[in-house]
Amino acid sequence: MTTAASRPVAVALLASVFVVAACGLVYELAAGALASYVLGDSILQFSTIIGTYLFAMGLGSWLSRYFERQLPAHFLRIELLVALVGGALPAVLFVANAWTPDAFRLLLYGLVLLVGTLVGLEIPLVMRILKRDVALKDLVSQVLTFDYLGALAVSIAFPLVLVPHLGLVRTGLLFGFMNAAVALWALWLFRHELRRLKAHALACGLTLAVLATGFVGADRITSLAEDRFYQDRAVFSAQTPYQRIVVTHGRSGHRLYLNGNLQFAEHDEYRYHEALVHPAMAAHGAPCKVAVLGGGDGMAVREILKYPSVEQVTLVELDPAMTGLFRDNAALAALNGHALRSPKVTVVNTDAFRWLEETREIFDVVVVDFPDPTNFSIGKLYTNSFYALLDRHLAASGYAVVQSTSPLLARQSFWTVVQTIESVGLQTAPYHAHVPSFGEWGFVLAGRRPWRLPRQLPEGLRFLDVAGVAALFDFPRDMARVPAEVNRLSNQVLVNLYEDEWGKAKP
């Protein structure tokens, strides 16, 4: 039974369990998020991170049997270690990815093992401390209740509040600070039991100072790491609920990166976007209603607006931070010719898959400009289910065009996209263009009628002319069609195929 004198201690320790559980889950989620950014395939990364973390917690719980005396002192020290290692985990991994990318995976799993082991020690020690004053029946139920509540709170706050407003580095440091605060609270609660009170107090003070310094300098840490990783100076960076956006600027102009992957380079993006848009738009003849799925930078919209027949452009982009950035930032809006402010353009910030399920609109041309299928959440936008939805919203005389990765470096992936589009009954016309920043890049035209070479293109294009368009549809032997499977929601073969091919292509 809990005595009146011991009740404040029990309440304080149970509150600590809540904080400890919240902090532990934050470190786990931060490691998984960073692994998915750097290594791709979010399902694989989160699965292996969670498995490693849970194994390490079990190891920590087993090791707790060897702590027999001075339990409050051991608990305090472990809290300080968790605060330092867990709190610094995102910052350390950011820096490691910039300076020693080859060691990133080893460091990632080493830190996850260490933090998980330390977190696994925490709860058993708390329970053994509480056991002195609380009946076993109440002890187990109360500790587990607060543990699960802490995990629930963080699982909701992490994607919706913490990462969008603080970023991964500050989020880690903030929760490290909270772990250190629990240690400081334990220092006060058990001040009469601790043998070296001054040494413990000094350790708490130094830990809090280090974490506070890191929190204040988090932007500087991130900027140094990103400048090193991206080579050019990062002029804008943001962590949104959906991705990390980084814009750099150097001698060749601006570059956009999403989760570390290059999306465009200012000096040659016109080649990509002219190739993406004009073979479909010009072949249609007089497109009036056009949809752009993805392409939140507005570059594809810029090319579409070169056709006088266009009356309405609907841009469907999941991340409002992307469309806001390329609408409101003067330097970036200039790149798309302020296309996102055109009265003809309507921006819809939602998931393209869901939007196609809900809208009833029919379009003359649909431009599909998603990032490459690096994970299953993007991979669903390359499945036959998605293309079947797309077909429902394409006019009988309309065309869709899909950016489809490199037919040279990811040949099997490219033809898998072609095969998947054809599986829903659409006719395809695959083609490719050379974009120096990417190399040979592939696209697939699709429609219910055969594609025909356009007779004219808008004036002022820098890359394409009518004769040049015909050459895009000629595939040399090393990019020619190969047998491929259909990419389905139930198997998502494309994601694993893409990862394997691009993994081999990296030097």
pLDDT profile of the chain (507 residues), mean per 10: 50 76 88 80 81 93 88 89 93 84 88 93 81 58 77 85 84 92 86 85 93 88 73 82 87 88 92 97 94 96 97 96 95 96 97 95 97 88 96 96 96 97 96 95 96 92 93 95 94 89 71
C-alpha span between 172 and 150 (Å, rounded): 16
User: What is the pLDDT, as a whole number, of residue 7?
Assistant: 56
CA 469, distance to chain mean position in Å, is 35
Set out the domains of the chain in order of their start, with CATH numbers. 7-217 (1.20.1250), 227-264 (2.30.140.10), 266-505 (3.40.50.150)
Beta bridge partners of 258: 245, 261
φ and ψ of 413, to 5 deg: -65, -45
pLDDT at 1: 42
Estimate the crossing angle of helix 197-216 against helix 218-230, to 10 degrees.
50
Six-digit token string for 144? 């587990």
Contact 294, 341 (CB under 8 A): no
Q: How far is CA 446 from the centre of its chain?
A: 29
Instruction: Tell me which H or E stretch contains 341.
Output: none
Residue 278, both tokens: 């004009």
Q: For the chain, what is the radius of gyration of the CA atoms?
A: 27
Spatial contact of 129 and 79, defined as CB atoms under 8 Å apart: no
- Tokens 């695959």 found at: 430
User: Amino acid identity of 402?
Assistant: V
CB 199: neighbour CB atoms within 10 A? 11
What DSSP character marks residue 162? I
**Residues taking part in catalysis:** 369
Q: What pLDDT sits at residue 70?
A: 86
Beta bridge partners of 244: 239
Neighbours of 334 (CB within 10 A): 11
Polymer length in residues for the chain: 507
pLDDT of residue 5: 37
Task: Give the pair of three-digit tokens for residue 387.
Answer: 């293309």
Closest by CA position to 304, among listed 349, 367, 347, 398: 367
What are the residues whose beta carbons fall under 8 Å from the beta carbon of 196, sequence distance 6 or more?
none
Integer Cα distance of 464 and 462 in angstroms:
6
3-state helix, strand, coil in the chain (%, to 5): 60, 15, 25
Q: Assess contact for 147 and 21: CB atoms under 8 A.
A: yes
Q: How far apart are CA 417 and CA 443, in angstroms?
A: 9
